[in-house]
Amino acid sequence: VQVRIATWQEAAHAIATMQVRGAPLIGAVAAYGVALAATADPADAAIQSATQHLCATRPTAVNLQWAVARVLAVIQPLSSEQRAAAAWSEARRIVAEDVAATRAIGEHGLATLRADRGPQAPLRILTHCNAGRLATCGVGTALAPVYAAQRAGQPVHVWVSETRPRNQGLLTCWELADAGVDHTLIADNAPGLLLMRHRVDAVIVGADRIAANGDTANKIGTYLKALAARAHGVPFFVAAPLSTIDFNCPAGAQIPIEERERSEFGATTDFVESVANPAFDVTPAHLITGIISERGVLAPTQIEAWRS
């Protein structure tokens, strides 16, 4: 479905209700939200109100605050007349940079997978949630190396976990089918068996926030896959642009975890007395083989090198 967003309130609504999701795409929509706000009313008070509202839509993905802060930093020194144009320009720059970053993540990720497996070997990738074209402005984060493999003519197959309760795995199936990439949908319960049976060469997921120590918040269920990958000696990669790294957050325990509504489980659970619906979990750095960014691939303990 295509939705036209014409006000900052609509941008906030799109983020809060997950009309858009995926950390990089949330950031881009929030940046455009600030531009829409600056167009509607460039006064300091109006912009402050809009940006506070935008930043409060979802707590976990740091790209949201990052993008809003970046546009704000550009426009705050300017006069009212100059702000709207500058905000649009900065939002477009954020989008262009994300497009380039996702492409670079694809190339770095593919190079790393090939270093392990060679340029001809079929790659059997397990992913979680959707970290592809529908989650970024470009070719995705976790799926970028998959698309890079496809472009390079390397056989690739993707195990797609359903990602309850919101079923974002269906988005991944949809976009992989659209791109002609071989894939199989599985229940979120299945990765342990697949890894035990040696049917996965690498796990690649996106991220909503990476702490300075490499601990990574991503869609709930990511941590279970990291544990299973480690148990079977399969590499586990996090793919994300630098905008997802929160160097101000020392460790995963400090990342706020969003609790979402029980209605996401669907009407068939309405008779259930109590539901808990945390949207993210934290994978400790020691379970992460490497973090793939537009700058390359580093062990999670070494990402400090990307701070500057």
Residues 186, 160 contacting (CB under 8 angstroms): yes
Q: Kindly tell me which of 108 and 128 has the beta carbon lying closer to its own copies.
A: 128
DSSP symbol at 132: S
Dump strand ranges (E) for 128-261. 156-161, 182-186, 202-205, 209-211, 216-219, 236-239, 245-246
Under rule CB under 8 A, residue 73 binds its own copies: no
Strands 236-239 and 202-205: parallel
Under rule CB under 8 A, residue 224 binds its own copies: yes
Under rule CB under 8 A, residue 221 binds its own copies: yes
Size of the site for its own copies (CB under 8 A): 47
Helix (H) or strand (E) holding 125: strand 123-127
DSSP symbol at 278: B
Under rule CB under 8 A, residue 90 binds its own copies: no
Residues 58, 219 contacting (CB under 8 angstroms): no
- To its own copies, the closest distance from the beta carbon of 132 in angstroms equals 15
At residue 126, φ and ψ (nearest 5 deg) are: -105, 130
Under rule CB under 8 A, residue 88 binds its own copies: no
- To its own copies, the closest distance from the beta carbon of 174 in angstroms equals 7
Instruction: Say whether 208 is catalytic.
Output: yes
Which residues from 136-165 bind its own copies, rule CB under 8 A?
A: 159, 162-165
Q: Which of 56, 73, 121, 275 binds its own copies (CB under 8 A)?
A: 275
Q: d(Cα 1, Cα 176) in Å, to the nearest integer?
A: 17
Under rule CB under 8 A, residue 193 binds its own copies: yes
Under rule CB under 8 A, residue 127 binds its own copies: no
- To its own copies, the closest distance from the beta carbon of 258 in angstroms equals 12
> Which has the closest alpha carbon to 205: 283, 286, 94, 273?
283
Q: Which chain residues interact with its own copies by CB under 8 A?
A: 159, 162-165, 167, 170, 173-174, 177, 182-194, 196, 219-221, 223-224, 227-228, 231, 257, 265, 268-269, 271-278, 280-282
Residues marked as catalytic: 208
